[in-house]
Chain A
Amino acid sequence: MISLNINGVQREVEADADMPLLWALRDILQLTGTKYGCGIAQCGACTVHLDGQPIRSCSIPLSAAVGGRITTIEGVANGDELHPVQQAWIELDVVQCGYCQSGQIMSAVALLEKNTNPNDADIDMAMNGNICRCGTYPRIRAAIKRAAEIKRGGKSA
């Protein structure tokens, strides 16, 4: 049994310690908001936070996640209150197919934790590991700036 702290809850997982965190989340814990896109840390669809840092869960074995705080897309909202990034995503109609968006949002949330007012270069740096095949990049860029605004106290529309 491996014990993991996920979204503030201690969860037990019966799996090999070398199983990538992604498969434990999806297949065993049924937290399917975190997506599989490449399996080799190329696309960012599987991004979750480990102790607040964005990581690619497809490329992290369970053994490396033990003892850390894991946050997935399911744990980003504060109860019914969506995270400013999620609010901005809705406000600016970012999503299309939506498959990449859990990962995009996790990367954006992590960026805004460190940087309350990111500029284009900061956004490029933080978001470049997240692929979107539907071409939502211009809106992601705009929505991160909008989320920063909401976070700083601006109203969501």
Chain B
Amino acid sequence: MSEAGNGTTDNGRRQFLIGIGVVAGGTAAGLALRPWLVGAADVGRPPADFQPHAFVRIRSDDTVTVIIGKSEMGQGVYGSLPMILAEELDVDPTKVQVEIAGVDPAFNHPFLPAQFTGGSMSVMTTYDALRRVGAQARAALLAAAADQWNAELITLTTDNGVVRDSRGRSLRYGALVDAANRLSLPDPTAITLKDPSTFKYIGQPQRRLDSPIKVTGSATFGIDVMRPGMLTAVIARPPAFGARLRGFDATAAKAVVGVVEVKAVPSGVAVIAQHTYAALRGRDALVIDWDTSGSKQLSSEGLRQEWRALAKRPGLVGKNVGDVATAFRSATRSIEVEYELPYLAHACMEPLNAVAEVTAEGCELWLGTQSQSQDARFVAEALGIALSEVRINTLFLGGGFGRRASAVSDFAVDAALVAQGVGKPVKVMWTREDDMRGGYYRPLSFNRVKAAVGADGMPVAIHHVTVSKPVLANTAMGKMAVTKEGLDPSTIEGSADMPYAIPNLRVEVHNTREAVPILWWRSVGHSITGFVTNSVVDELATLAGRDPYEYRRELLKEKPRHLAVLERAASAANWGMTLSAGHFHGIALQESFGSIVAQVAEVSVFNGKARVHRVTCAVDCGLAVSPSQVVAQMESGILYGLSAALDGEINIEDGRVVEGNFDGYRVLRLVDSPAIDVHIVTSGGPIGGIGEPGTPPIAPAVCNAIFAATGQRIRRLPISKSLSA
């Protein structure tokens, strides 16, 4: 990204404004609840604006607008990112307007040639740039005031949107817009940033800015977009992975009142109608001949059996420290165990959807996406038009968790192809079943682990073989990330580089190629490796007859940051103290996305059901830019991971996904939701992510507690399937 270069936004783009303000006394007055201007005329930029960079705009009425290129899927970027810029600009972040950016290279991810939200990197990758842009804008306003007053720059200062001088004069930022526009911009690299010890907002609690529109139902998600003349479509999608369309009879479907058109598209047969209900009824009435012969053999149970055998054979070596074979010979006691994790759906609360309109000028899309640039590229390819002819409007995302960063832009391409030739905008709706059965899961994972302790009870060796379909290799990032031998770093992240001191460690991988589409799922490899390694370390502690917490302390004694996080979680949870009758503690720690998270789960088991009462979490994410969001994301990550650990499971039979909706794919509900305490550990380390790192430790923390409670070691998730009655 050109750090503070003059990236400017497309002037004629439809500007989606979220009026944001703090609600005083419970009234909505002053909320600026501007409806999303979907379908409204383009709002141009009046010349009076001062826009030194694509990220910020100051209007003569003092309105400061921060333009955010990251997608808001719940993780709070519309709060944390404006705060960073506002800090250096010296304005109250709760008063700034947030505008959702269009697609522009100015908003590209610094490590990728694309606009992309993922990898828990929004704050860490924009922190410096946003600060510089804010500081540059402030410097320009100061220079403008100095000019106006004919004063020495050094005598001027700012104070929450106002420039002041030593003689008591003051000018609002808005009053300096014209003057600032006439001066050339100060060199952003020459500007001194604030000393962090003087921060007014960064590091302070701040409420979310998007609450007012989200509690009144007025926030516009992709699924809520309405365009003039818009039609709604659903697609009859293949019933099994690899199934092919042989033919279909649309007579009955077309007879359904409200159905406008039925047509084959690459992803199935689209029924286009006046509204969702007609589209659904039309789809029900379709007669389709699918060829499912190619998928008959595919089942998750079958894969499991195959992979169990495969895991006994040598794989690609992902890590080899010391010599495990020799170490095992000298070991005192050892275990040889299998750990299994199921396919998981992301199950975003908002099912997938997208609105597309294809005209002679190109294709315009309205959707909640984490991956704008790639969506645009795939849509251009699918329609055979130029990239510059695709325009993407990002809406609020009703959850993302990785699913809305599709490796193939399935939901964007779908919509574009359905809309092509219709002459009207079309919303393609995915029902819950379409979404859940449409593929792109966390991979099924089979792990065989041999581990041993020496005479002192401490680990001497771990040999871990993983069998699963590699995630990055199946995305555009594969080219950059996967080694020429085929080693995908996402398969071994968190196991090959686990923080625990293991003198001899060998990690091997078998890459599989089953027809089930897989994708990154909140925390990617870490939710898998975190479960396996933290469970195995617990097994070794048991083998050694040691307390699992004390054992981990010993294994982390060379890692002060990890140790501090572990100790904080344990002491806050009162580890080792007496709990309520029947309650037991389990602990786990995982480093992911630059942050270290430890969790202690307090669990009881009754009649074969595990109940999690409380989770105590400690996190070191370097600088907590927005501590409120750090806490919220830990809670979110924990409950997302807990839901999966307790009940999450996608099964495949005859190439078909068994679970279709929340009746079969059970997710956590309020009654089973534990109390959560989050403690932020300040280490002064570099900024880490927060959207994902809360997820990996929860499954092993809970399973370790179940072991403490029952003596049963859960080696296959979900827990509800494995726990004996």
Stretch of B186-194, B347-355, B377-385, B442-450 at the chain-chain interface: B347-355
Q: A99 to B398, Cβ gap below 8 A?
A: yes
> Is residue A152 within 8 Å, beta carbon to beta carbon, of the partner chain?
no
CB distance from A29 to the nearest CB of B (A): 11
A98-145 residues at the B interface, CB under 8 angstroms: 98-102, 105, 123-124, 127-128, 130-141
Q: A16 to B214, Cβ gap below 8 A?
A: no
Q: A97 to B25, Cβ gap below 8 A?
A: no
Write the B200-228 contact mask toward A (1 if CB under 8 angstroms, else 0): 00000001101110111111110110100
Taking CB atoms, residues of chain B closer than 8 Å to A57 are none
Taking CB atoms, residues of chain B closer than 8 Å to A134 are 74, 349, 399, 636, 639-640
- Minimal Cβ-Cβ distance residue in B for A87: B26
- Minimal Cβ-Cβ distance residue in B for A84: B26
Q: B25 to A86, Cβ gap below 8 A?
A: no
Q: B347 to A101, Cβ gap below 8 A?
A: no
Q: B219 to A98, Cβ gap below 8 A?
A: yes
* Partner among B26, B218, B673 whose Cβ is within 8 Å of the Cβ of A138: B673
* Complex-state Cα separation, A39 to B28, whole angstroms: 31
Taking CB atoms, residues of chain A closer than 8 Å to B637 are 135
Q: B217 to A100, Cβ gap below 8 A?
A: no
Write the B104-121 contact mask toward A (1 if CB under 8 angstroms, else 0): 000000000000000000
* Complex-state Cα separation, A89 to B667, whole angstroms: 23
CB distance from A62 to the nearest CB of B (A): 10
> Is residue A94 within 8 Å, beta carbon to beta carbon, of the partner chain?
yes
B386-427 residues at the A interface, CB under 8 angstroms: 396-401
Q: B211 to A38, Cβ gap below 8 A?
A: no
* Partner among B218, B662, B674 whose Cβ is within 8 Å of the Cβ of A43: B662
Q: B662 to A135, Cβ gap below 8 A?
A: no
* Complex-state Cα separation, A104 to B638, whole angstroms: 20
- Minimal Cβ-Cβ distance residue in A for B257: A16
> Is residue B275 within 8 Å, beta carbon to beta carbon, of the partner chain?
yes
- Minimal Cβ-Cβ distance residue in A for B433: A39
Taking CB atoms, residues of chain B closer than 8 Å to A66 are none
Taking CB atoms, residues of chain A closer than 8 Å to B248 are none
Q: A39 to B432, Cβ gap below 8 A?
A: yes
CB distance from B237 to the nearest CB of A (A): 16
> Is residue B232 within 8 Å, beta carbon to beta carbon, of the partner chain?
yes
Q: B221 to A95, Cβ gap below 8 A?
A: no
Central interface residue in A37, A128, A156, by most chain B CB within 10 Å = A37
Q: A90 to B207, Cβ gap below 8 A?
A: yes
Taking CB atoms, residues of chain B closer than 8 Å to A97 are 72-74, 348-350, 396-400
- Minimal Cβ-Cβ distance residue in A for B667: A131
* Partner among A20, A37, A74, A141 whose Cβ is within 8 Å of the Cβ of B217: A74
Q: A27-B275, A89-B215 are in contact. Are A98 and B628 (CB under 8 A)?
A: no
> Is residue B29 within 8 Å, beta carbon to beta carbon, of the partner chain?
yes
- Minimal Cβ-Cβ distance residue in B for A95: B214
* Complex-state Cα separation, A139 to B432, whole angstroms: 26
Taking CB atoms, residues of chain A closer than 8 Å to B351 are 36-37
Q: A40 to B661, Cβ gap below 8 A?
A: yes
The count of residues in chain B whose C-beta lies closer than 8 Å to any C-beta of chain A is 67
> Is residue B670 within 8 Å, beta carbon to beta carbon, of the partner chain?
yes
> Is residue A60 within 8 Å, beta carbon to beta carbon, of the partner chain?
no
Taking CB atoms, residues of chain B closer than 8 Å to A87 are 23, 26
Q: A77-B28, A140-B670 are in contact. Are A38 and B661 (CB under 8 A)?
A: yes
- Minimal Cβ-Cβ distance residue in A for B436: A38
CB distance from B261 to the nearest CB of A (A): 17
> Is residue B632 within 8 Å, beta carbon to beta carbon, of the partner chain?
yes
* Complex-state Cα separation, A105 to B214, whole angstroms: 10
> Is residue B675 within 8 Å, beta carbon to beta carbon, of the partner chain?
yes
Q: A35-B223, A86-B215, A96-B74 are in contact. Are A80 and B670 (CB under 8 A)?
A: no
* Complex-state Cα separation, A16 to B280, whole angstroms: 13
Taking CB atoms, residues of chain A closer than 8 Å to B432 are 37-40, 43
* Complex-state Cα separation, A73 to B214, whole angstroms: 10
Q: A93 to B224, Cβ gap below 8 A?
A: no
B99-147 residues at the A interface, CB under 8 angstroms: none
Q: A35-B223, A77-B28, A96-B74 are in contact. Are A101 and B215 (CB under 8 A)?
A: yes
Write the A50-67 contact mask toward B (1 if CB under 8 angstroms, else 0): 000000000000000000
* Partner among A37, A81, A124 whose Cβ is within 8 Å of the Cβ of B670: A124
Write the B8-30 contact mask toward A (1 if CB under 8 angstroms, else 0): 00000000000000010111110
* Partner among B217, B397, B632, B673 whose Cβ is within 8 Å of the Cβ of A33: B217
> Is residue A2 within 8 Å, beta carbon to beta carbon, of the partner chain?
no
- Minimal Cβ-Cβ distance residue in B for A102: B217
CB distance from B366 to the nearest CB of A (A): 13
Q: A73 to B349, Cβ gap below 8 A?
A: no
* Complex-state Cα separation, A16 to B257, whole angstroms: 9
* Complex-state Cα separation, A59 to B464, whole angstroms: 49
- Minimal Cβ-Cβ distance residue in B for A31: B217
> Is residue A70 within 8 Å, beta carbon to beta carbon, of the partner chain?
no
> Is residue B276 within 8 Å, beta carbon to beta carbon, of the partner chain?
yes
- Minimal Cβ-Cβ distance residue in A for B226: A30
Q: B398 to A82, Cβ gap below 8 A?
A: no
Q: A138 to B635, Cβ gap below 8 A?
A: yes
B257-290 residues at the A interface, CB under 8 angstroms: 257, 275-277
* Complex-state Cα separation, A74 to B431, whole angstroms: 24
> Is residue A32 within 8 Å, beta carbon to beta carbon, of the partner chain?
yes
B596-644 residues at the A interface, CB under 8 angstroms: 628, 632, 635-640, 643
Q: B27 to A80, Cβ gap below 8 A?
A: yes
> Is residue B669 within 8 Å, beta carbon to beta carbon, of the partner chain?
yes
Q: A80 to B29, Cβ gap below 8 A?
A: yes
* Complex-state Cα separation, A35 to B351, whole angstroms: 10
Q: A90 to B276, Cβ gap below 8 A?
A: no
B286-345 residues at the A interface, CB under 8 angstroms: none
* Complex-state Cα separation, A70 to B472, whole angstroms: 48
Taking CB atoms, residues of chain B closer than 8 Å to A127 are 670
Q: B640 to A82, Cβ gap below 8 A?
A: no
- Minimal Cβ-Cβ distance residue in B for A28: B275
> Is residue B76 within 8 Å, beta carbon to beta carbon, of the partner chain?
yes
* Partner among A34, A43, A98 whose Cβ is within 8 Å of the Cβ of B74: A98
Taking CB atoms, residues of chain B closer than 8 Å to A99 are 221, 348-350, 396, 398-399
Taking CB atoms, residues of chain A closer than 8 Å to B219 are 98
Taking CB atoms, residues of chain A closer than 8 Å to B662 are 37-38, 40, 42-43, 131
Taking CB atoms, residues of chain A closer than 8 Å to B673 are 135, 137-138, 141
> Is residue B663 within 8 Å, beta carbon to beta carbon, of the partner chain?
yes
* Complex-state Cα separation, A99 to B429, whole angstroms: 16
Q: A128 to B431, Cβ gap below 8 A?
A: no
* Partner among A19, A72, A77, A133 whose Cβ is within 8 Å of the Cβ of B347: A133
* Complex-state Cα separation, A98 to B214, whole angstroms: 6
> Is residue B75 within 8 Å, beta carbon to beta carbon, of the partner chain?
yes
Q: A136 to B25, Cβ gap below 8 A?
A: no
* Partner among B25, B223, B429, B635 whose Cβ is within 8 Å of the Cβ of A135: B635
Taking CB atoms, residues of chain A closer than 8 Å to B226 are 30, 32
* Complex-state Cα separation, A36 to B675, whole angstroms: 28
* Complex-state Cα separation, A87 to B207, whole angstroms: 13
* Complex-state Cα separation, A15 to B274, whole angstroms: 11
Q: B276 to A26, Cβ gap below 8 A?
A: yes
> Is residue B676 within 8 Å, beta carbon to beta carbon, of the partner chain?
yes
> 4 closest Cβ contacts across the A-B interface?
A33-B217, A135-B639, A99-B398, A96-B74
Not counting A74-B217, A95-B210, A123-B670, a sample of 9 additional A-B residue pairs whose C-beta atoms are within 8 angstroms of each other reads A15-B277, A23-B277, A82-B27, A97-B396, A97-B400, A99-B221, A133-B349, A135-B637, A137-B668
18 of the cross-chain contacts (CB-CB < 8 Å) are: A27-B275, A30-B226, A34-B217, A35-B223, A39-B432, A73-B217, A80-B27, A80-B29, A81-B26, A87-B23, A87-B26, A93-B208, A96-B74, A97-B399, A97-B400, A99-B348, A105-B215, A138-B675
